[in-house]
Amino acid sequence: IYASLDPDKPEVLAELPMPGEGGWEFCEFAYLYFSTWHWQKLVNGQSGWLPPGYQYNIGMGRSFPSDRAVAHLRSLGVKYVAIHGAFYPPQQLPDVLAGIDARTDLELIAAAPWAGNESRLYRLK
């Protein structure tokens, strides 16, 4: 899904799901690894040090694709959102995807099978 991102013109990317609340707890380490394929700026991901506001950002990201979560991502300068179905609890993923499909301000850029599920890349319009 990252092939459509230009590593020479990095934008701000949010990788979802955020950790916690039933999701894969170590997904942020995977997101850091994934960043070596796209070299975009990340709003999440960690290296052992958590900057101020990190927990708030994670909490807001957990409610994605709510209006409040999308507005918060915009306030952080996010232009792209990656959704990794393999990291969502199976019972939560259909609701997340239905919520995204109901929004007019998210444009699907790419989708690809990954880890027995699907990953998708969206652009915030």
- pLDDT tens per residue, range 56-92: 888 888 899 999 999 999 999 999 999 999 999 889 9
Radius of gyration of the chain from its Cα atoms, rounded to whole angstroms = 13
Q: Say which range, 6-15, 51-60, 79-88, 97-106, has the weakest mean pLDDT.
A: 51-60
Contact 1, 31 (CB under 8 A): no
DSSP secondary structure, 35-88, as one string: HHHH--EESS--SS---TTHHHHHHHHHTTTSHHHHHHHHHTTEEEEEEEGGGS
Q: Name the pTM for this structure.
A: 0.90
Return the number of other C-beta atoms located less than 10 Å from residue 84's C-beta: 23
